[in-house]
Amino acid sequence: MRTGHEDETKTRRRIVKLLKTEGAMDSASLAGRLDVTAMAVRQHLYALQQEKLVTAEERPVPLGRPAKFWRLTKAAERLFPDAYAELNAALITSVQDAFGPQGMQRLLDARMARQRADYSERIDGSAPLGKRVQQLAKIRADEGYMAEVKRDGTGFLLIENHCPICAAATVCQGFCSSELELFRSALGPGVSVERAEHILSGDRRCVYRIAGGG
């Protein structure tokens, strides 16, 4: 039997996840998504604010006074997997110092070769593009990227709400450029993959616009 404290913790986790995947939201929208009262949501938000995990800003709305929109702070990143961020960044710096750009490129090539083999086994190259993108999103979600897929006209958006290798990618942006090549290879010939949003450029998520390929 769950205690009241366990219920509070679960609700706060759901709030944090929604703010991570959807961006800034007001308490009424959060309440609607969570099926709880707006007052209960505000109480949870104030508790999260005291922990410095969320912050609020006022935005104009069509009717009435400006509404408070809540978003996650940088401190909230600790709640999500980071793939040993500090260790990875330190190791990458050591590789660059010891072996130079060519050594770093060999490391990136070896990593992508392993990923390409794994992705090719898990993505059905004969499936329609939408199915392939869904399979790619499942792989990325399993790796900690909080990935999801949305329609984009005749194509798709692959949305990654979290980057578990962000610290490593900050030190060596080759990780990001190699991902574009990896996605194109995994999805097959004739598929266009372009980055539309990028966490390292200041966006809250990474988004890839995918089209073509049947």
Domains and CATH numbers, the chain: 4-79 (1.10.10.10), 85-212 (3.30.1380)
Token pair listed for 13: 């986790």
Token pair listed for 99: 């072996």
Question: Stretch 10-31: mean pLDDT, rounded?
Answer: 91
Looking at residue 168, its pLDDT comes to 65
Looking at residue 25, its pLDDT comes to 93
**Contact predicate 66/73, CB 8 Å:** no
Query: Residue 171 above 80 pLDDT?
Result: no
Token pair listed for 203: 């966006």
Question: Stretch 102-110: mean pLDDT, rounded?
Answer: 82
Looking at residue 56, its pLDDT comes to 93
Within the chain, what is the greatest distance between any pair of CA atoms? 61
The whole-model pTM stands at 0.67
Question: Stretch 43-56: mean pLDDT, rounded?
Answer: 92
Distance CA 88, CA 11 (A): 32
Token pair listed for 84: 């040993």
- Which range, 94-98, 100-104, 160-164, has the best average confidence (pLDDT)? 160-164
> If you average pLDDT over every residue of the chain, what do you get?
86
Token pair listed for 160: 């990654």
Query: Residue 191 above 80 pLDDT?
Result: yes
Looking at residue 92, its pLDDT comes to 73
Question: Stretch 125-148: mean pLDDT, rounded?
Answer: 93
Query: Residue 1 above 50 pLDDT?
Result: no
